[in-house]
Amino acid sequence: MNPYIVREVQDGKKTYYYLRCMETYSIEPLPTKYLNHKVSTGQSPNTVKESALALSYYYSYLWEKEMELSDVYALPYDTQSKHFVDFLYWLKLGNHNGNAKKTPRNSTCNTYLRDVFGFYRFLESLEPENHLKVFVSRLVSVTNSIGVAHKEIQYSFQGFLKEEEHKRKFISREDIETLLLSCTNCRDQLLLLLLAETGFRIGELLGVNYTRDIDYSSHTIQVRFRDDNENRARAKYAEYRRAKISPDTFDFLLYYLSEYRNLLKDTEYLFIVIDGDSAGNPLSANTVYSMLKRLEKKTGIKATPHMLRRYFATQRRNGGWDILLLSKALGHKHIKTTEQYIKVEDSELEQATDKFYEENKSLFMVEQL
């Protein structure tokens, strides 16, 4: 068991996290201050919790090495860089969870270290004299996938693990139709339909207010930032977006509102619990994932909200949407992120190449050679 664990406390609508040392049962002040800062800047509970876990692992690593933060600052550059590389391999061996059989992906280890670096940068903002040597940085020019040049900060630390090529999972229209037919109620059916037709994140969709966020004349649904949702649902990046749904899905939405009108009249949330003691309460993301797990057992089809989001992206791209429009619809800050949502088949690439050669038959005047 790690000597440092994450605890949370609820204060009204906000969730705060802190690190507790199980040896002394004391609360670590600096990580707690950093985590509170992240909450105050509007970062989501999930994001703050992930940072808290990363810090609990790092503090456990320091405990094992019998080191303090001041010792890390005092290390020369090469040794300091090795210190963080060793932390990555410490994570990779499963030391953070005591499970050597189930080790994290390289990308996960890198994410934990980036969270730790975020903590150090926060400390530097409080006391500029404390500066990690591996934070020496320079501005470099890079060009993204559509040829737009911009500046990025490149840090001198180059010890991150090589990340595996992540094979993203996609879902087909036929699979979605099977899932829809296997649902036991129209709420779950509507949820699947809207995830596939809007491209909204699950947290965004669960925060939709059916009295204010749906334009019944234009058949559009909007998502906007709110940090007071009872189910902790929220729009990422505090952004506002709208999506138009198909006429058939809009009619199904009206049917759902009519079917559960007695429960919906006492709440503003579009998606609610429809049975049991919690009937009428806002639906949580955990309940959605449990529903999808039940459908997977029933049909053999794995589906996640993000897979339905990728389905939206791929279908819209195939329908002729350009990458900038698609990026805006998905609420991405970077085009590179949008590219990861799109499925391109080898056959599609071959067809595009055939079309190019058909339209450009005389390349480089080869026939004259």
User: Which of the residue ranges 10-24, 166-180, 346-360 would you say has the lowest mean pLDDT?
Assistant: 346-360
The pLDDT assigned to 225 comes to: 65
pLDDT over threshold 70, residue 140: no
DSSP code, position 366? G
Across the chain, what does the average pLDDT equal?
Answer: 85
The whole-number average pLDDT for the span 93-107 is 81
The whole-number average pLDDT for the span 138-161 is 67
- Would you call 233 exposed, middle or buried from its count of C-beta atoms within 10 A (0-12, 13-18, 19+)? buried
- Would you call 4 exposed, middle or buried from its count of C-beta atoms within 10 A (0-12, 13-18, 19+)? buried
User: What Cα–Cα distance (Å) separates residue 186 from each residue in 46, 201, 258?
Assistant: 29, 20, 11
pLDDT over threshold 70, residue 149: no
pLDDT over threshold 60, residue 337: yes
User: Which of the residue ranges 156-165, 291-300, 351-360 would you say has the lowest mean pLDDT?
Assistant: 351-360
Q: At what angle do helices 45-65 and 106-126 cross, to 10 degrees?
A: 90
pLDDT over threshold 60, residue 97: yes
Residue range 192-224, pLDDT digits in tens = 999 999 989 898 899 999 999 999 999 999 987
Q: Which domains does the chain have, with CATH numbers?
A: 4-136 (no CATH), 173-330 (1.10.443.10)
The pLDDT assigned to 123 comes to: 94
What is the Rg, in whole angstroms, of the alpha carbon atoms belonging to the chain? Answer: 25
Round to whole Å and give the CA distance between 58 and 52: 10
The pLDDT assigned to 347 comes to: 65
The pLDDT assigned to 231 comes to: 55
Round to whole Å and give the CA distance between 283 and 264: 12
The percentage of the chain sitting over the pLDDT mark of 70, rounded to a whole number, equals 81
The whole-number average pLDDT for the span 95-121 is 87
The whole-number average pLDDT for the span 146-175 is 75
The whole-number average pLDDT for the span 22-51 is 90
pLDDT over threshold 70, residue 175: yes
Round to whole Å and give the CA distance between 120 and 54: 12
pLDDT over threshold 60, residue 106: yes
The pLDDT assigned to 270 comes to: 96
pLDDT over threshold 90, residue 68: yes
User: Which of the residue ranges 93-107, 123-137, 241-255 would you say has the lowest mean pLDDT?
Assistant: 93-107
The whole-number average pLDDT for the span 227-238 is 55
The strands making up 220-223's β-sheet, listed across from edge to edge, are 214-215, 220-223, 241-244
The pLDDT assigned to 145 comes to: 52
The pLDDT assigned to 288 comes to: 95
The pLDDT assigned to 323 comes to: 78
- Would you call 359 exposed, middle or buried from its count of C-beta atoms within 10 A (0-12, 13-18, 19+)? exposed
Residue 168's pLDDT band, with cuts at 50, 70 and 90, is: confident
CB 326 within 8 A of CB 316: yes
List 272's β-bridge partners, or say none.
282
Residue range 241-276, pLDDT digits in tens = 888 999 999 999 999 999 999 999 999 999 999 999
Give the closest residue to 30 by CA, choosing from 122, 114, 128, 117.
122
pLDDT over threshold 70, residue 349: no
CB 219 within 8 A of CB 245: yes
Residue 185 CB contacts under 8 Å (≥ 6 apart), including other chains: 274
